[in-house]
Chains A and B, each alone.
Chain A
Amino acid sequence: MALMITSFIQRDSFIQELNPISKIFLILLVIASIIILDNLYITYFFLINVFFLAYLAKIEKEFVKGITIVMLPIAVWFLIIHGIVNPAGKTILFKIWFIPFRKEGLLFALNFGSKLVTIISYFYFFIITTYPGDIVGSFSKIGLPYKAGFLINSSLQMLPLMQRRAEKILEAQEARGLKVKGKLKDRFKAYTPLIIPLILGALMETYERVLAIEIRGFSAKVKKTHYKEVNFEKKDLIFCFTYLFLTLILIIGGGNF
């Protein structure tokens, strides 16, 4: 009954087959262009692009759902806060219950917020279209430390597990009379009894898991091999070059948008 899917979704599309490094390359290009250019049109171009890629990966429904559920409340909150209190704000655009919303603050939130949303969307896209087992293999193929790849990989797998556990914890605490709906005050009080067991449980399980992987030779000072093959194929080259080319055009075109 998870609201938001945080694990790999298998669909029949080339996006899932891409080498994870290609997607990470794209993410780096996006971050670089957004930061270097500071141009809202380019940010929106990349935002539309990630939805396009989600469509190509045949996960558009889950992607939109996940992004909306996480981003929308944050974005709205962001807009409100900056609209009211951002120091650059001078011109009052409108009032809600006598609270003034100023133009400069709203513009800032729109600008900065759009960039943030875009970058986060790319990370989410990466998580749900990348086969975790490939991450480790692709990392070590290009010489990155094996343990780093393993860390990313196994953390991603833990997300849905933590979700399931959070649901169990919620049930156990509700059964002890914890109120989670209703007044804001109640919702704040509910925070500790839900978060602490989650964190402690995660720590304990991590400790046990470390033991389990050491028992299987995790720290053996041997060159690690890979069961599943991860290669850099033609589609990876095409993907990377296309986006590199696009990004270069955008950067050179620079302030002309």
Chain B
Amino acid sequence: MNQTIIEFNNFKWHYSNNKKFRLDIQELKIRKGSFVGIIGPTGAGKTTFCYSIMGVVPHLQKGRMEGSVRIKEIETKNSSLNVLSQKVGLVVQNPLSQMSGAGLNVEEEIAFGLENHGYSRQEMIKKVKKIIELIGLKEYARRSPFELSGGQQQKVAIASILVLEPEILILDEPTGYLDPLSTDMIFTLVKELKKQGKTIIFVSHKFEYLNELCDEIILINKGKIIKKGAPTEIFSDISLLSKNNLSAMDVTNLFARLKKAGKWKKRFAVSVEESEKELRSEFPWMR
């Protein structure tokens, strides 16, 4: 079922204190169930992009919007965050600021979103239990979210959003403040969610992970979509990345170095596995 779940049409947005358009997207369609990676330098407009799908733009930010963003048949402009929060979820970079303080333990923190939407106690208990199992938070269920590590808090944040069962999950650099172990844990979790058919939008600088998980990559810079394509296409295009103040991964740079020395004429690899394969096939003397 590859229907379009998110659609941008002639969308323009500028914040009220700045005449220039922060985001300008003529046309974009995202298919249901796809895992889309968003890359771009700082200040490119990636967060505004996430806000536009969530509905934070235009409902919580002051500015002017033109055109439309559609979540299935709902237009974000004409809807409200209350409705949108049941279709779309957003997890941001700082784990601490997502702990609402609504309850003293993880269970209550997760239930907060359900409380806001008026679910009955029986339903809440059931849903919270299910999410805690799914995300692996049983051990921390009765502890205060404020005592947990950044990685665990981020898991709680994800759980608090997923308990509302949105079809679309947006993650805006969720591993920015986390250590490698927690980062790995978050990516593993998101991989599981992908298997369950959720549509996932993931903003990150961690190209190695994105290459492994994403169906497609969107490169955003200066408020516009510069290019959209398969991970291998985007991550191997060194000049595209460098023009947009990004860097290709080191293994890709190796192939560029080989090309510069006249030793490589094919496509550049974008992962360690791919690099090994390509090197061995082209240079059998590489043992």
* Interfacial residues, chain A to chain B (CB-CB below 8 A): 8, 131-133, 136, 150, 153-154, 157-158, 160-161, 205, 208-209, 211-229
Contacts and interface: CB of A to CB of B under 8 A. Distances in A.
Interface of B: 54, 56, 60, 81-82, 85-86, 89-90, 92, 94, 96-98, 100-105, 107-108, 111-121, 124-125, 128, 146, 157, 160-161, 164
A150 B115 CA distance: 12
Contact of B116 (A132, A158, A216): A216
A154 B116 CA distance: 15
Contact of A153 (B102, B111, B115): B102
A175 B109 CA distance: 36
B108 A209 contact: no
B104 A133 contact: yes
Contacts of A226: 115, 121
Contact of A220 (B56, B118, B120): B118
A225 B81 CA distance: 19
A158 B104 CA distance: 12
B56 A217 contact: no
Contact of A225 (B118, B160, B164): B118
- The listed residue with most B CB atoms (<10 A of its CB), out of A157, A208, A212, is A212
A220 B82 contact: yes
Contacts of A220: 82, 85, 116-118
B60 A153 contact: no
A216 B104 contact: no
B113 A217 contact: yes
A224 B96 CA distance: 24
Nearest to A212: B98
A150 B104 contact: no
Contacts of A153: 101-102
A227 B94 contact: no
Contacts of B81: 214-215, 217, 219
A211 B56 contact: yes
Contacts of A154: 100-102
Contact of A227 (B56, B98, B121): B121
Contact of A212 (B100, B105, B120, B128): B100
A219 B118 CA distance: 12
Contacts of B56: 211, 214-215
A212 B92 contact: yes
A214 B121 contact: no
B107 A227 contact: yes
A222 B114 CA distance: 11
B116 A224 contact: yes
Nearest to B85: A217
Q: Which 8 A-B pairs have the closest CB atoms?
A: A154-B101, A208-B97, A216-B113, A227-B111, A157-B101, A220-B82, A222-B118, A217-B116
Given A8-B104, A133-B102, A133-B104, A216 B160 contact: yes
B116 A227 contact: no
A218 B92 CA distance: 17
Contacts of A214: 56, 60, 81, 85
Given A211-B56, A216-B160, A217-B116, A227 B82 contact: no
B124 to A, nearest CB: 5
A146 to B, nearest CB: 9
Given A214-B60, A216-B112, A216-B160, A224 B103 contact: no
26 contacts: A8-B104, A133-B102, A133-B103, A133-B105, A153-B101, A154-B100, A157-B146, A205-B96, A208-B92, A208-B94, A209-B100, A214-B56, A215-B90, A216-B85, A216-B100, A216-B160, A217-B113, A220-B82, A225-B119, A225-B124, A226-B115, A227-B111, A227-B112, A227-B114, A227-B115, A228-B103
Contacts of A228: 103, 108
A251 B81 CA distance: 52
B72 to A, nearest CB: 18
Contacts of B86: 217
